[in-house]
């Protein structure tokens, strides 16, 4: 059982190393983040919704990841975000929108779309693995513990 805890904790640290800088960048460079989203091939309604909800939801993901009680939900949200972002990049690579500007910041803005796709795919795999490996410590059926801490 301790191995699963070590794996989950290691995955959580890796994901926090991804999400915290992204959140900080979006908040500290909000104007740049906003321009990046508005340059995407999205409707105005979707773009403005993302501008104000995406940072909040990503910060929520960080909070859930660092909270033992809600870590599994944080891993699920991380998986959902990475699946959405990876899917978006996959569609861009397939030419769904022609030339697509990258709205990312930090080091990610300097890599190619294919590198970005593999980067996201890696973090998607990490997130899904963490969600699968993470165990719920108090699952019971008919007052019988499914998982023991021994």
The per-residue pLDDT for range 32-86, each reduced to its tens digit, is 999 989 988 889 999 999 999 999 999 999 999 999 999 999 999 999 999 999 9
Surface-to-core class of residue 85, CB atoms within 10 Å of its CB (0-12 exposed, 13-18 middle, 19+ buried): middle
The ranges assigned to domains in the chain are 2-135
Q: Which pTM was predicted? A: 0.82
User: CB–CB of 150/2 below 8 Å?
Assistant: no
95-106 pLDDT, tens digit per residue, is: 887 777 666 666
Q: How much is the mean pLDDT over the chain? A: 87
Q: Is the pLDDT of residue 142 over 90?
A: no
The 3-state DSSP class for residue 100 equals: coil
Q: CA-to-CA distance for 94 and 114, rounded, in angstroms? A: 11
């Amino acid at each position: 059982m301790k191995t699963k805890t070590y794996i989950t904790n290691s995955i959580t640290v890796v994901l926090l190393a991804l999400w915290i800088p992204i959140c900080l960048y979006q908040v500290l460079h909000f104007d740049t983040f906003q321009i990046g989203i508005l340059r995407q091939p999205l409707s105005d309604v979707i773009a403005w919704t993302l501008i104000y909800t995406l940072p909040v939801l990503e910060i929520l993901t960080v909070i859930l990841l660092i909270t033992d009680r809600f870590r599994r939900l944080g891993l699920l949200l991380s998986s959902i975000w990475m699946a959405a972002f990876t899917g978006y990049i996959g569609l861009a690579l397939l030419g769904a929108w022609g030339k697509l500007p990258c709205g990312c910041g930090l080091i990610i803005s300097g890599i190619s779309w294919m590198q970005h796709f593999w980067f996201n795919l890696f973090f998607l795999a990490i997130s899904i693995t963490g969600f699968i490996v993470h165990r719920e410590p108090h699952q019971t059926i008919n007052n019988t513990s499914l998982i023991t801490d021994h």
